[in-house]
Amino acid sequence: PLIAVLNGPNLNLLGLREPEIYGIQTLDDLEAVCAEAAEPLGLAIDFRQTNGEGELITWVQECRGRAAGIIINPAGYSHTSVALMDALHAVDLPVIEVHLSNIFTREAFRHHSYISMAARGVICGLGFTGYRLALQAIADIVEQEA
Ligand code: DQA
């Protein structure tokens, strides 16, 4: 099964961006961690990042009939994007939302995510480990619902 691992705005700057919050590892390092975790689970991954809200929505739409599930870190759009939530509802696939940081220990505006309303589960605060756990969870969901 193919799993889309979609990353939103500013995650291209991982390693440079607020390293005290997001760590010193890069987006390429994150992709490598995901590829390594996916392989023994029998999952193929399509790992992507965009700064564009519209592009993220188009990618979600394109998952229909193509991917078995979606892991998404919507970054800043988590807290603003009704349109991205609508796309995730429309595509009708299992969705797991991941945040590297613990959004609940941060500013109040980060405590609400529109995307959570379209997600089976949400993982936050565990850094790259959150993506590995999300892959594990989606493998279980895909297997159980096959
Ligand atoms: C983030 C948390 C968001 O609040 C923030 O806007 C991000 C990254 C995270 O992975 O911790 O860009 O999604």
Cβ-proximal residues to 73 (8 Å cutoff; 6+ apart), any chain? 6, 7, 8, 11, 97, 98, 99, 100, 131
The reply to whether the predicted model has a pTM over 0.90 is: yes
Q: Which pLDDT tens digit goes with each residue over 119-133? A: 999 999 999 999 999
Domain definitions of the chain by residue range? 2-144
Predicted confidence at residue 100, as pLDDT, reads 98
Q: Which atom of ligand 1 is nearest to the CA of 73?
A: 13
Predicted confidence at residue 138, as pLDDT, reads 98
Using pLDDT thresholds of 50, 70 and 90, give the confidence band for residue 146. confident
CB neighbour class for 109 (10 Å; exposed up to 12, middle 13-18, buried from 19): exposed
Distance CA 113, CA 92 (A): 19
Above 90 in pLDDT, residue 87? yes
Distance CA 136, CA 140 (A): 6
Question: Among positive and negative, which fits the CA dihedral 11, 14, 16, 19?
Answer: positive
Using pLDDT thresholds of 50, 70 and 90, give the confidence band for residue 76. very high
* 106: DSSP letter: S
Q: Is the CB of 99 under 6 A from ligand 1?
A: yes
Q: Is the CB of 4 under 6 A from ligand 1?
A: no
Above 90 in pLDDT, residue 118? yes
Q: Which pLDDT tens digit goes with each residue over 29-58? A: 999 999 999 999 999 999 999 999 999 999
Select 2-144's CATH number: 3.40.605.10, 3.40.190.10, 3.40.50.9100, 3.40.718.10: 3.40.50.9100
Which helix or strand (DSSP H or E) is residue 84 part of?
helix 82-91
Predicted confidence at residue 145, as pLDDT, reads 92
Please answer whether residues 22 and 14 qualify as being in contact, where contact means their C-beta atoms are separated by less than 8 angstroms.
yes
Active site residue 22: yes
